[in-house]
Amino acid sequence: EVQLVQSGAEVKKPGESLKISCKGSGYSFTSYWIGWVRQMPGKGLEWMGIIYPGDSDTRYSPSFQGQVTISADKSISTAYLQWSSLKASDTAMYYCARHMTTVTTLPDYWGQGTLVTVSS
Amino acid sequence: AIQMTQSPSSLSASVGDRVTITCRASQGIRNDLGWYQQKPGKAPKLLIYAASSLQSGVPSRFSGSGSGTDFTLTISSLQPEDFATYYCLQDYNYSYTFGQGTKLEIK
């Protein structure tokens, strides 16, 4: 069974750093792109970027380029999303998702989400 | 970047109704589009991929159509569990953009 399990909720202060994780299982982790999606409170879905764990090829949405870093450790089947200096506007739910590879590259399996709250 | 314009932003309908949601891309994206359903507090669920292919396990009352710039999601006969928010997502050339979402509410 394909599963993506994300790390738990975080409460941080502005200016702090943060790294959240997404662990894949039940499939070949290095053969599928993993993407990250932001959902701010009461708002829609925003695609942030993707990484191919096999070779760490990474692509960002222009809106998130330079704001976050996506990485992966294929030895432990885990992808990461990190911030070096959080802002209150980073408060959101963050989802990871596995992207399909045949016919389409849309995400099919999703993690349960990680709620990040940034408040002084 | 490709923009996706989804309409309507909200929709009231009754059980048994047929509803249609549309997405328009700012440039041609072939059939590189999918539709997702999201319920409160849950991750999105893939319904349709490649514009018109039904994801495994999704009821056949959901269907998608379109290519190029104009796409449609149709629910043929609304069921109580279908009241949710729906999003389109384009995946043309490894760039991805969601539509703004359509909240489907019970009339």
Q: Three-state SS string across A57-116, please?
A: EEEECCCCCCCCEEEEEHHHCEEEEEECCCCHHHCEEEEEEEECCCCCCCEEEECCCEEE
Across A4-15, average pLDDT: 98
- CB of A19 less than 8 A from some CB of B: no
Measured CB to CB, residues of chain B less than 8 Å from chain A are: 1, 32, 34, 36, 38, 43-46, 49-50, 53, 55, 87, 89, 91, 94-101
A95: pLDDT strictly greater than 90: yes
The whole-number pLDDT of residue A12 equals: 98
pLDDT band with cut points at 50, 70 and 90 for residue A82: very high
pLDDT single digits (tens) B5-49: 999 999 999 999 999 999 999 999 999 999 999 999 999 999 999
The whole-number pLDDT of residue A106 equals: 94
pLDDT single digits (tens) A27-79: 999 999 999 999 999 999 999 999 999 999 999 999 999 999 999 999 999 99
Q: State the amino acid at position A38 in one-letter form.
A: R
| Other CB atoms within 10 A of residue B10 CB | 11
The whole-number pLDDT of residue B35 equals: 98
The whole-number pLDDT of residue B67 equals: 97
- Residue A62's closest chain B neighbor by CA? B1
- Residue B85's closest chain A neighbor by CA? A44
Distance CA(A77)–CA(B97), nearest Å, equals 26
| Per-chain mean pLDDT for chain A | 97
- CB of A59 less than 8 A from some CB of B: yes
Among B45, B94, B98, whose Cβ lies nearest the Cβ of A45?
A: B98
CA distance A112 to chain B (A): 6
List of chain A residues whose C-beta atoms are within 8 Å of the C-beta of residue B96: 35, 47, 50, 61
